[in-house]
Structure 1
Amino acid sequence: MPEASRYARALAWLLPQSLLGRLSVVMVAGVLMTQLAGNLIWGAQLRKDAEVEAKLAAQHIAHSAASAVRFFLSLPANYRPILIQQFREMGGTRFFVNVNRAPLAIQQIEARALSDTVVASVGATLKQDLPQLNHYRVAFAWPGELSVSDSGSKIADLPESWVQHILLVKPNPAPILVIQTELEPGNWLYLAALMPNPYFLDSGNPLALDRVLLQGLSLAAVLLLSILVVRWTTRPLAALSDAAEAFGKGENMPELPETGSREFVNTARAFSAMRERIQRYLEDRERLFVSISHDLRTPITRLKLRSELLDDDALRNEFHDDLDELDMMVKGALQCVKDSDIHENPTEVRLDALLKRMVRGSQLGGHQVQFSEAGLSVTAKPLALKRAIGNLLDNALYYGKRADISVHREPGHVAVRIRDYGPGVPEEAFGSLFQPYVRLAHGRDQNADGMGLGLGIARSIVQAHGGHLTLVNHPDGGLVATISLPAQ
C-alpha cells in the first residue's frame, strides 16, 4: 500500500491539475503509444520485406555477374581491354567493367544488416554458379572515394558518359556493389553496379525522413483535433464551476446555457434546480427567523410589564433576569441573520483605505491600534468585509487592550492579520470558538454584554468570499486572527 500510494502521489504531481490538461495528456499519451506500437509492428514487417527483396535482388545481380565472368573467361586476355573500351563507348552495360592486375582495396560503407545480407547472398550465388571460382571479393562502397583501377583512378576521374547510365554519382550518390573475381593469376575482373533499388538501405528504415515527417504531420493533426475536442467538451464544466463558486459567494449569475452534450445539459438542469431550491430555502429561513425573533419580542415586552406588578421583589428580579436573557438571545438571533447575509455586489476593495478608517475610529475611542499600509486590494463585499474585520478587531481590543493589523500577499491569497496582546486561548478551546454563544471565562469577565456571535459571523462572511479564517496563539502571547482572501 505505501508503494502504491507513493506512485499515486507521483502521478498526481506529474499530471496537470485541470481536467483539460489531464484529458489532453491522456489523449496525447494514447496517440503516442499507438503510433509507437504501430511503428514497431510496421518496422518489423518493413525490415522483413526489405530483407526478402534485397536477397532476390542480390541473387539477380550475382547471376548477371557470373555470366559476365564466364564471358570474360572465354575471351583471350589481350582482347578484354578492347572489348571493355567498346562497351564504354557504347554507353556501358549492366556493370562498370575493368580488368586490374590485383584486387583493389575498397573502403566499405558502415556495416548494416541489409548490406551484409546482400554481400553474403551475392557471394553464395557466385560460388554456386561458378564452382571453380576460388578468389572473389564483394563489398559496398560510396562513389566519392571508390577506386576503379590499379593506376589509382577513381569514379570522379572517369568521363561522365562511362558511368552516367550505370552508377549514381550525383546529386544524391547511391552505394555501389563492387565484385572482384580472379580470372587467372595477374588478372582480376572488376565489376561495379547499382542495386535494382539504388537506395535499398533506406527501404528497411522506419525512421526515414519522409516517413517521420508524414507521421509527425498526422500526429500533430490528431493531437490538435483531440485538444480542440477536449477543450470543447470541458468548457461547459468550467462554466458550471464558475457558477457554483459564484453561487457559493452569493453573487447573481445568469442561468447556465442548456447546450452541449446530453450529460452536461442534464447536469446544468440539475444544478439550476438545486440553486433555486437552496435560494428558496435561504429566503424562507431568513423570513422565518426574522418573523419568529420579531414575534417573540412582543410577548417578552408584555411579560416585563406584567412582572413589574409582582409584589415579591426577589421573584420580580428573577423574572427580569430570565426575560433579559431571553431578550438577548432574540437580539443575537436577529444580529446573526442580518450580519451573515449582507446583500451587496462584490467590488474592488482597497484594504489600506478600509483599515485606516477602522483604525482611526478605534483610536478616537481611546484604543491602541497599529497598522502599516501595504497597497493591496481584494474583490469583496465592502460592508460584509468591514463587518468581519470589525468583529475581530473588537474582540482584540476587548480582550487584548491593543492590537496590531498587517496585510501580506501570499501565494494566491491576501492575508489580513489582527494580533491582540491578551491571554490567548487554551488549545482545547479552539474547536468551540466559532460556535454561537460560546465565550471563554476571561471574555465574560471583560465584556459582559457580548453574546459570542462575532467569530462565527466573521468566519461565515470570510467563507462566503471564498477565503478562510484561522486563529492561533502568538508565541509571545496573545491571539492572531488571519483572514485569507483570494488574490485578484
Structure 2
Amino acid sequence: MLSLRTRFTALLIISVVLVLVIAAVITAWLLRKPPEVMYDRVLAEKAEFALLLLRADPLAAQTLHITIQEKPAKDRIDQDRTDNILAEGRRQGYTADVVVLKSFNPHRWDIAIRLDDGRWAYLDFPDPAPFPYLPLAAYLALVAIGMTGIATYVSNVMMRPLRILDETIAKIRPDGIIHELPETGPMEVRTTAKTINRLATRLNAAVSSRMRMIAAAGHDMRTPMTRMRLRAEFVVDGDDRQSWLKDLDELDHIADSAIRLVREEISPAAQEQVSLDAVLRSVAEEISETDLPVEQGAIKPVLVKGAPFALKRALRNLVVNAATHGLGARVSLSRYGGEAVLTIMDSGPGIPQDLLGRVFEPFFRVDQARRQIVPGAGLGLAISQEIIESHGGTITIVNRREGGLLQTVRLPLCKPEQD
C-alpha cells in the first residue's frame, strides 16, 4: 500500500504536470501557424504597399535592394498560389498584379510585382516559422523535472510530523518507555515533537506508577498471607487445612509472579554472551525431574546476547506451559539467517482461534476451570514475552494442524556463525 507521503507527492506532481499540459495547449493554440488565407492577405497587402512605394519613389528600389527585371518565365510561376493571392487582393480592393514564384527555399516566398512601365519588381518574404514543438516539449520536461523535485521536497517537509509519529511508535521500548524527541526543525515539526514529548512524559509516569503499584501490592500481600498461613496450621480438619494452604500457595505464586513481571519491565539485566542451547537443555532436564514430560529434539549450539537468568526464566515458563497444559513438550533449537529459532511443540487441546491474540495478557486463562486443576497466576507467558522482547526477539504461538500448540521464539544471534 502506498504511503501517505507517496500519494501526496504523486498528487502534487500530477497537478503540476496537468497545469503545464494545459498551459502548453493554450500556448500552442495562441502561437499556431496562421491559416493560408490570412497569409495570402498579408502578401497581397505587402505587394500593394511595395507598388505604391515604388510609384512614389522609383529610386527606393536601389535603396531597398529590390531587383527590377523583365516578366518571369511561365515555368517559374506557381499559378495556384498566384490565383489565391490575386483573388484575396481583389477582395481587399488592391490593384497590384502579383505572381508567386517557385522557390527552392521552403521557408521563403518569392513574388514579382508588375510596375507601371511593364517591368517587374522581385521581392521575397519569409514563411511563418513552424511552431517550435520540440523546444517547447524540452522546456516543459525541464519544468516538470524541477517541479517534481520541489513537490518531493515539499511533501517530505509537510509529511515529516507524520513520519515522526511513525518512527516514534517504532522506537517504543518493550517496557513501554517512549524516548524523548529533539524539538528542532520547522515550526510544525517542533510542535509535533513537543506534543509527543508531553504525551511520552505522561505515559511514562503512568506506566512507572502502575508498575510500582503492582510491585507494592504484591509485596504487601506477603505479610497478610504469612499470617493466614500461620492460622491455617491451627485448623483442626486436615482437608480444610490443605485447601487453605493450597489457596495461599497460589496467592503467593501470583504475588511473586507480579513482582517478577515488574522487575523484568523496569530493571533490564546486564547483557553477556549466552549459550542458548545449554540453557535450553538445563531447563528441559530440570522440568523432566519434576515428572513433567519434556522431549529434547535437535538442539544446535547457538550464542545470543542477553541475561542468562532472565532467558532461563522465560524458557522455563514456556516449556512448563507446554508440558503442563499441552500434555508434554518437545523442544528444538536451530539457526536461520542471523536468528536463533527455538520451537516448543505440544499435543494438548490447543487454544481457540479467537483467543490466540490474548495469550500474552497478564492473568489470562483459556479456561478458568483449569485454575482448580493446574495452579498458576497466568503471568508466565506475559513474563516470557517481556524478557524475549527486551532481548530484541519475538515470540509467536499458533495452533498446529496435528493438534496442540507451536511456540516459536526468535532471538538475534550474538554474531554470525557457520554450520
The two structures have a TM-score, normalised by structure 2, of 0.70
Q: Tell me what 1:201 maps to.
A: 130
CA distance in 1 between partners of 2:41 and 2:303 (Å) = 84
Asked whether 1:31 is paired with 2:16, we answer yes
Q: Tell me what 2:181 maps to.
A: 256
Asked whether 1:427 is paired with 2:410, we answer no
Contact preservation (8 Å) 1:339, 1:457: yes
- Ranges in structure 1 where 5+ consecutive residues have no aligned partner: 1-12, 71-86, 107-117, 144-173, 182-188
Of 51, 59, 64, 2:34 maps to 51
Alignment: residue pair count? 392
Specify the SS of the correspondent of 2:216.
helix
Q: Cα deviation per residue 1:270-316 (whole Å; 9 max; x = unaligned)? A: 22122111111122212221112111111211221223234444443
Q: Tell me what 2:365 maps to.
A: 438
CA distance in 1 between partners of 2:69 and 2:243 (Å) = 129
Contact preservation (8 Å) 2:297, 2:332: yes
Deviation (angstroms), 1:425: 0.7
CA distance in 1 between partners of 2:353 and 2:235 (Å) = 45
Of 351, 369, 387, 2:296 maps to 369
The amino acid that maps onto 2:365 is V
- Ranges in structure 2 where 5+ consecutive residues have no aligned partner: 53-60, 114-119, 289-293
The amino acid that maps onto 1:17 is S
Q: Tell me what 2:116 maps to.
A: none
Deviation (angstroms), 1:241: 3.3
Q: Tell me what 1:17 maps to.
A: 3
Of 73, 80, 102, 2:75 maps to 102
Aligned in 2, Cα 1:405/1:466: closer, same or farther, shift over 3 Å?
closer
Aligned in 2, Cα 1:25/1:96: closer, same or farther, shift over 3 Å?
farther
Asked whether 1:358 is paired with 2:283, we answer no
Deviation (angstroms), 1:232: 3.7
Contact preservation (8 Å) 1:396, 1:418: no
Deviation (angstroms), 1:334: 2.3
The amino acid that maps onto 2:398 is V
Of 105, 122, 133, 2:85 maps to 122
Specify the SS of the correspondent of 1:326.
helix
Of 93, 109, 112, 1:177 maps to 109
Q: Tell me what 1:326 maps to.
A: 251
Q: Cα deviation per residue 1:296-340 (whole Å; 9 max; x = unaligned)? A: 111211221223234444443343233233323322322333345
Specify the SS of the correspondent of 1:476.
coil
After TM superposition, list the pairs within 5 Å mapping 1:56-455 onto structure 2: 58-63=40-45, 93=66, 99-102=72-75, 122=85, 124-125=87-88, 128=91, 143=105, 175-177=107-109, 193-195=124-126, 198=127, 200-202=129-131, 205=132, 207-209=133-135, 211-250=136-175, 255-343=180-268, 355-362=276-283, 364-365=285-286, 367-371=294-298, 388-398=314-324, 399=326, 400-406=328-334, 408=336, 416=341, 418-427=343-352, 430-431=355-356, 433-435=359-361, 436=363, 438=365, 448=374, 450-455=376-381
Contact preservation (8 Å) 2:174, 2:265: no
The amino acid that maps onto 1:370 is G
Bigger shift: residues 256-265 or 22-31 = 256-265
Asked whether 1:458 is paired with 2:384, we answer yes
The amino acid that maps onto 2:130 is L
Specify the SS of the correspondent of 2:109.
strand
Deviation (angstroms), 1:130: 8.4
Specify the SS of the correspondent of 2:172.
helix
Contact preservation (8 Å) 2:333, 2:341: yes
Q: Cα deviation per residue 1:130-160 (whole Å; 9 max; x = unaligned)? A: 8998x97787x663xxxxxxxxxxxxxxxxx
Aligned in 2, Cα 1:390/1:309: closer, same or farther, shift over 3 Å?
closer
Contact preservation (8 Å) 2:331, 2:342: no
The amino acid that maps onto 2:278 is R
Aligned in 2, Cα 1:304/1:119: closer, same or farther, shift over 3 Å?
farther
Q: Cα deviation per residue 1:346-395 (whole Å; 9 max; x = unaligned)? A: x8x99xx6532333324655653334669898x98887666545533443
The alignment-based identity, stated in percent, is 22
Contact preservation (8 Å) 1:467, 1:483: yes
CA distance in 2 between partners of 1:388 and 1:42 (Å) = 73
Deviation (angstroms), 1:32: 1.0
Deviation (angstroms), 1:421: 4.0
Aligned in 2, Cα 1:104/1:384: closer, same or farther, shift over 3 Å?
farther
CA distance in 2 between partners of 1:464 and 1:94 (Å) = 98
CA distance in 2 between partners of 1:248 and 1:421 (Å) = 31
Deviation (angstroms), 1:200: 1.8
Specify the SS of the correspondent of 1:102.
helix
The two structures have a TM-score, normalised by structure 1, of 0.61
The amino acid that maps onto 2:248 is L
Q: Cα deviation per residue 1:148-181 (whole Å; 9 max; x = unaligned)? A: xxxxxxxxxxxxxxxxxxxxxxxxxx62336699
CA-based RMSD: 5.1
The amino acid that maps onto 1:480 is L
The amino acid that maps onto 1:355 is L
Q: Tell me what 2:56 maps to.
A: none
CA distance in 1 between partners of 2:69 and 2:385 (Å) = 95
CA distance in 1 between partners of 2:146 and 2:15 (Å) = 14
Aligned in 2, Cα 1:442/1:280: closer, same or farther, shift over 3 Å?
closer
CA distance in 2 between partners of 1:308 and 1:96 (Å) = 143
